[in-house]
Amino acid sequence: MKRKNLLLLAVLPLMATAQPLTQYVDPRIGSGDHGHVFVGANVPFGMVNAGPTQIESGWDWCSGYHESGTKIVGFAQTHLSGTGCSDLGDVAIMPAIKDIGLSRKGLATTFSHEQEEVRPGYYSIVLPESGIRTEITTTQRSAMYRISYPEGAHRHLYVDLENGIDDDLVWGRMQQIDPYTYVGYRISHGWANVQHCYFVMRLSQKSRIYEQATMKSKRADGPAPIYHLQVTSSSEPLLVNIALSPVSEANAAANLKAEAFKHGVPIDFDTMRAAADAAWNRELGRVQATFQNDRDRRIFYTAMYHFMVAPQTWDDVNGDWRGADNNVYRTTKPVVAVNDSPVGSSNYLTTLSLWDTYRAAAPLSTIILPEMMPSIATTYLRIFREQGKLPVWHLMSQETDCMVGCPAVPVLADLLLKGYVRDSLDVWKAISSSLLMDERGLDDMKRLSYVANDHHGGSLSMSLEYMLADWAGVQAGKAILAAKGQDDDIQRTVEYLDQRAHSYPQLYDPRVGFLRSKNIQGEFNGIDNFNPAHQTGDYTEGNPWQYLWLVPHDVDGLMQMLGGREIAVKRLDDLFNADSQLNDEANPDITGLIGQYAHGNEPSHHTAYLYALLGQPRKTAKIVHQIQRELYTDQPAGLCGNEDVGQMSAWYILSALGFYQVEPCGGRYVMGSPLIKEATLHVGHGKTFTIRTHDLSEKAFYIKRVLLNGQPLPACSTFSSCTEKLPKGYAAPFILRHEDIVRGGTLDIYMSK
């Protein structure tokens, strides 16, 4: 099958929309406080995030941009969005009207937010010191700049390969091919080790390299240049096309030809901008929703936008990609876009923030991005073959090993259970091999069924994350056995992982009533001066309050461990009512506090829904509604923690629709408190699932009854039983299943005060 041009596909609507949804997106939401979001131009899941990089650095500049920033140092082609670590900022350009010097300080120029315009697929700014207007738009693998110099001004353009965002250049080079065209590469070391970024840059007017810096790189002898270009005078704006490739300069040129040209003629800026806008409208339209007010609509569609920044395309138009082993591969299958999805059926993807996104972003994707799921599974399996384990936190073909656990296992198991993968034995090999390794504390899991605190920092968090991944692996193994028949090797592994998955009670310290780490002898640390609000090295980005509840795979078992239903509910009450004071050593990610519940970081994201599974669905509704109203706003400080590559936004999207997947995989959604008046979800194969709320108001946010396709949706006291009777004073929650959604239909939710 011949591969279609993704730029042309971008203008084809997935479904009809009554009005452009991009008008409700404000990319500045999350650019203040600690949101760390990308601000610039991109298309859904694109390789290129092109936009301004500020001169400031530090934790709040992980994306290269923060609302409080004062100077722009260049417009780079790659940026992260919402992460807790910095990197990228590759191949930056900066226009000027005079010689400003070959240094980062010289490139920096002041700017004003009043002179910025930011919309999905488009960024524009007028720099007051020079009067230059720079506009940016993108395709999947390229950016186009329209640079309007003041009339009569000299035209200078600087290309900075030396400076990224908190990374070190290993080697960089750019050379001129003809009066209009340059090629080069930037190989750097940062959060991701040995990043390869190749590029081609084409100008609409003649130019020449006037001078270049020959500074020494920090990791190797050789040039680390900033290039100063002089551009021919013209009354027309300067157009600059820059395409990237992880593989080679030649592939970057092919990417540019495929996406920025039509019949050999360059696509003009406004056409490309319109295509980017159409691509965003199509993807945002996967959920067409109405709300009680404009504020909720802005927050929701901005969340949809942020959710679709990543994972990012990381292969070329010819199917080449750079693997985790740093070798170059080419797919044996055509990279064919499916149903006009921006990501084809076998793309190689990057920016896999899995410790964050397995919780909500991945399940949401299985509902509204079904065409993308084959590429997710294909990427994970390719990475497994390339590095011998499933990805942990993959960036630019590199394994960062950031965060704890085996977070790809719940995602891959979820895809298997929901029917999105065919090669189940390949999936099982990847899952089981990754869980049975001897690295990153897994050797302790084999010997002790927990990670020892005298071997690893964050050991309690590591243990719990491995246990829930073990449980997800068990569900995948059981599904394979049910489909393919008895296999003794799989059966033994399933039984072993199941034992590990349920070994968390041994980490419960009854002296203090919290889960705690043990040493290799099986001993807890002492309890002198123990305070659950104070972080210790045993908890990754959290404290004992938050990690007590990280057993989403066995809520009934957690309840019994705590002493029964009544005590478990009381302990949840204590969590949300505790003093929010933290000590000076608390991790900065512990934010968005309601009591000691920390919505600004991912381990807490399922916790409000535990009330429902313990028989108190009204308490779930109350807390979820409070989070929606207090911890998400439509201002730059509108996120209470790092966006974390779509996870914070995905929580809001799912919760606004009225449900959340508490278990790590499997598609059983606990209903909470919807915000939408009506929403139509496009769930694949031409099917839609419509959610309608009745009698919803600011005070009526509790679910009274639910009809699925006109029939009562039963309230189930557990995931497995809708007949078990609960004690007096308790009520069963409504459980929605994945198959109910993807087969299409209508869900009517009746609300009460």
For tokens 């290993």, name the residue.
170
Of 239, 214, 212, 251, which Cα lies nearest the Cα of 228?
212
Average pLDDT in the 92-121 region? 96
Residue 332 has a pLDDT of 64
303 vs 587, more confident: 303
Of 657, 622, 186, 664, which Cα lies nearest the Cα of 468?
664
Q: Domain for residue 293, yes or no?
A: no
Say how far apart CA 266 and CA 699 lie, in whole Å: 55
Residue 388 has a pLDDT of 97
Q: Domain for residue 344, yes or no?
A: no
Q: Domain for residue 159, yes or no?
A: yes
Average pLDDT in the 187-204 region? 96
Reading the block at residue 95, the tokens are 């226009």
For tokens 């028949």, name the residue.
485
Q: Domain for residue 49, yes or no?
A: yes
Q: Domain for residue 185, yes or no?
A: yes
Confidence of residue 74 (pLDDT cuts 50, 70, 90): very high
Reading the block at residue 216, the tokens are 């020494």
Residue 340 has a pLDDT of 57
Residue 334 has a pLDDT of 52
pLDDT per residue as tens digits for the range 677-718:
999 999 999 999 999 999 999 999 999 999 999 999 999 988
Of 162, 109, 359, 150, which Cα lies nearest the Cα of 234?
150
Q: Domain for residue 708, yes or no?
A: no
Domain limits at 256?
A: 28-282
Please tell me the total count of domains within the chain: 1
Identify the CATH number of the domain in which residue 155 sits: 2.70.98.10
Residue 581: CB atoms within 10 Å: 11
Q: Domain for residue 6, yes or no?
A: no
111 vs 219, more confident: 111
List helix spans (H) across 200-352: 249-260, 269-284, 294-307
Residue 718 has a pLDDT of 82
Q: How far is CA 711 from the centre of its chain?
A: 36
CA angle, residues 168, 169, 173, in degrees to nearest 5 = 170
Residue 642 has a pLDDT of 96
**Are 310 and 81 in contact, with CB atoms under 8 Å apart?**
yes
Q: Using the 8-state DSSP alphabet, how is residue 645 labeled?
A: T
User: Poorest-confidence range of 341-345, 409-413, 541-545?
Assistant: 341-345
Say how far apart CA 213 and CA 125 lie, in whole Å: 27
Q: Domain for residue 608, yes or no?
A: no
pLDDT per residue as tens digits for the range 371-381:
999 899 999 99
The residues that bridge with 352 in the sheet, in sequence order, are: 394
Residue 341 has a pLDDT of 64
Of 38, 62, 59, which Cα lies nearest the Cα of 50?
38
> How many residues in the chain?
753
**Are 55 and 79 in contact, with CB atoms under 8 Å apart?**
no
Q: Which amino acid, one-letter code, is at 497?
A: L
Confidence of residue 225 (pLDDT cuts 50, 70, 90): confident
Q: Which amino acid, one-letter code, is at 206?
A: K
Q: What is the DSSP string of 685-719?
A: TTEEEEEEEES--SS--EEEEEEETTEEPPB-SSS
- Percent with pLDDT over 90 in the chain: 89
User: Poorest-confidence range of 19-33, 376-390, 523-537?
Assistant: 523-537
